[in-house]
Chain A
Amino acid sequence: MSDERETPTAHGAGPMIRELGKKLAQGEAGPLLVLLMVAAIWTFFQFQNDRFLSPGNLTNLMLQQSAVATISIGIVLILLLGEIDLSVGAVSGFCASVMAVLIVNNHLPPEVAALAALGLGAFIGLFNGFMVTRFRIPSFVVTLAGSLTLVGLQLYVLGETGTINLADNFVTRLTSTFFPPLISWAVAGLAIVLTLAFALAGRTRRARAGLSVGPLWSLLVGVGVIAASFAALVAVVNQDRGLPLVMVIVIVLALAFAYVTERTRFGRHMFAVGGNAEAARRAGIKIDHVRMLVFVLGSTLAAAGGVLAASRLTAVNQSSGGSDLLLMAIAGPVIAGTSLFGGRGTVWSAIMGAVVIGSIANGMDLLAYASSVKFIVTGAVLIAAVTIESVTRMRRRGTAAR
């Protein structure tokens, strides 16, 4: 109920937050709930071990979750359509394996091999999208069957040797590069200036279109909050190894796709198709084109996640992309408010979900909990988080109906 009161204030707090909150606020619990969840998790682990919130560990958390967050961004796009892609784990493992084989066995330049992996991901997405749109096969069937094939192909390309090590190269540097303090500050400064510029441009555009605009001070406060969080982030990571390149990559990807979903015609079409495909079709939206493109983006981002995972491990093996990667990549955005059934969600939920799930895993490993405890706790937290999210949404809907 308190969320109900938070939403209007969030609306006044500045265009960025308004943009971020807009879709979430319409029937979602809002990012505040997730932030509270993160705060609770962090407080708990910090009390258990005071190294949890150390700069080194927070940097580790970012590195550990970069691959999942990237894959989750693609999952959000697909969930917005009301579709599901159960092959993202297998796509990430297979594309990363192909990349490693191209680098180590075929001596291709790492940059080219990484691009080939992304291209391969796009092609797999195109195939999935084609099967879904042309033959009207439910996406979970196509992608589930596809993922078995991909796991087989992964075993095949890795061959007898199994694991392939990556020596120091472009790919491994994606996750082992840290910007020195001065450059980190410059990056943060640039981000702040860009945020301000976007916010002002958006405000001007609204004013010119004759829409209501909030007072200028609230915009400045909003940008100030974002600037402060960027500054805090840089201040923290500079105490350790510096700003990780991969962090910049993930944030830029999130910004880019947030822009695509919230500000472009294609983004509006995605929400339209996810909300009600038939209505979207009658409104003249080429729903099959939208679906195809979203599957391509989803698989390409999965491949990018696979490249980042390989970069972090400096190797690929038979289990790359396996284990609980798929579950975590889907659960993250859902915990943070993206609907499994289409039409509702934000790209930011991918990042926030990855932070929630990653913090739990990171903290439990820090405390060296037994595997039994880790499985039980992770499962329980996933269920609790989704329940809380669902209950607040039901309550919201209830008050709206009254």
Chain B
Amino acid sequence: MHGRRALRWFGAAALVMGIVVTLGGCSSGTPTGSTGTTGTAPAAGGLKIALLLPETKTARYETQDRPLFEAKVKELAPDAQILYSNANQDSAQQQSQADAALTNGAQVLVLDPVDSAAAASIVTKAKAKNVPVISYDRLILNAPVDYYVSFDNEQVGKLQGQALLDKITKDGNAGKTIVMINGAPTDNNAKLFKAGAHSILDGKVKIGVEYDTPDWSPDKAQTEMDQAITKLGKTGFVAVYCANDGTCGGAIAAMKGAGIDPKTRPTTGQDAELAGIQRILLGEQFMTIYKAIKAEANTAAELAVALGKGTGVPSSMTLSKVNNGQIDVPSVLLTPVPVTIDTIKTTVVADGFWTTQQILNTPALIAAGKAVGLQ
């Protein structure tokens, strides 16, 4: 009897653990072990800059941010040394990596925090050693951060909304009904995208149905769009606002499933994912937002070198203020770039974000690429 009961508790515990791990897994990335600090022995007189990035699950940090940042620093200060660490989505690990960087004599910290609130203690430690901190991509809250470099996330929503509104108006559908598929309700950036889009669209179009998509899940977005179509009818909407390319893919799959040609319903996206760029090329998706990581990494590198050398902020940078709960942080907010079928070549391809070879991987895409001069 005892053994049986124990077994049941085991089973129940297993299920709960499974659920916790699965749900947690979506939001917090995959623990894949530490990469640790890769700093080398101090070079006499050389400038030392620490770059602390948050995770490895998203491809951008290892394949874009790090190499671009390092290249720009080397260009500006050939003798500079970069202490690089990746925290694998573990904020405690990031604390130790920051400690290690400060111990190693870092003169500037470029910090993309795992946890925007918890990272405040890193800033305090750095301040005690008179080391300036640049908050990179994500804002560190309630701490005396020196500078903040990121994209203007509310602007992302505004650009999406404006592009969609212009297209709707051009199609002669001004004032008609649209569907809105927003991002994850737990993501602060998703709130900003949503607010930005609403500020443009409200009053100009009718919002027939609106969803927040847990985990940014494309599958959930597809089900939401299925239900929006059921609710409004196949001809009951003229366009779909989607917060990113993943959810847009789900919405387009739902329209195809219902027998609606996605070319007749403009859709928005974000991230310039390869799959999104390919859909734009095929005419299925109307636009995406490209956040040039190159510009972000370059700006952070220039700022870091300037602070390290004590030469002050480069005059080319326009500073605005972003409040982080404690102070107004001087910020460089880069403008994201909308991408449509006509600008794929001059944006993502020109920057080397995607190569034409990567984009054109089916006969249909090759044909579509040829029409807009991509080959």
Contact = CB atoms under 8 A, between A and B. Distances in A.
Contacts of B279: 165
A318 B30 CA distance: 11
B62 to A, nearest CB: 9
A317 interface: yes
B210 A313 contact: no
B218 A319 contact: yes
A49 interface: yes
Interface stretch (B46-54, B79-87, B357-365): B357-365
B115 interface: no
B361 A105 contact: yes
Given A323-B26, A323-B215, A340-B8, 8 more contacts: A60-B230, A82-B7, A163-B218, A319-B216, A320-B219, A327-B18, A327-B22, A371-B214
What are the 6 closest A-B residue pairs judged by CB atoms, nearest first?
Answer: A140-B14, A365-B227, A163-B275, A86-B18, A161-B274, A366-B227
B223 A365 contact: yes
Contact of B275 (A105, A155, A164, A330): A164
B130 interface: no
Nearest to A369: B211
B293 to A, nearest CB: 12
A370 interface: yes
B217 A84 contact: no
A80 B145 CA distance: 57
Contact of A315 (B21, B22, B253): B253
A155 B300 CA distance: 28
Nearest to B250: A313
A311 to B, nearest CB: 10
Interface of B: 7-8, 10-12, 14-15, 17-19, 21-23, 25-26, 30-32, 57, 59, 63, 185, 209-212, 214-220, 222-224, 226-228, 230-231, 245-246, 249-250, 253, 256-259, 273-276, 278-279, 358, 361-362, 364
A42 to B, nearest CB: 14
A84 B15 contact: yes
Given A165-B249, A327-B22, A361-B223, A319 B17 contact: no
B226 A324 contact: no
A140 B17 contact: yes
Given A314-B253, A317-B218, A51 B230 contact: yes
A313 B253 contact: yes
B246 A319 contact: yes
Chain A, interface residues (CB within 8 Å), range? 35 or more
12 contacts: A56-B258, A63-B226, A64-B226, A86-B18, A140-B14, A147-B18, A164-B275, A165-B278, A167-B362, A319-B26, A319-B246, A371-B214
Which residue, of B11, B12, B23, B245, has the highest number of chain A Cβ atoms within 10 A? B11
Interface in A49-88: 49, 51, 54, 56-57, 60, 63-64, 82, 84, 86
A241 B23 CA distance: 35
A323 B30 contact: no
Interface in A143-171: 144, 147-148, 151-152, 155, 159-165, 167
A138 interface: yes
B14 to A, nearest CB: 3
Nearest to A320: B219
A163 B230 contact: no
Contacts of B26: 319, 322-323
A151 B56 CA distance: 13
A322 B274 CA distance: 21
A323 B217 contact: yes
B11 A161 contact: no
Contacts of B275: 161-165, 315, 317
Interface string A77-109: 000001010100100000000000000110000
Nearest to B13: A140
Given A56-B230, A362-B223, A176 B15 contact: no
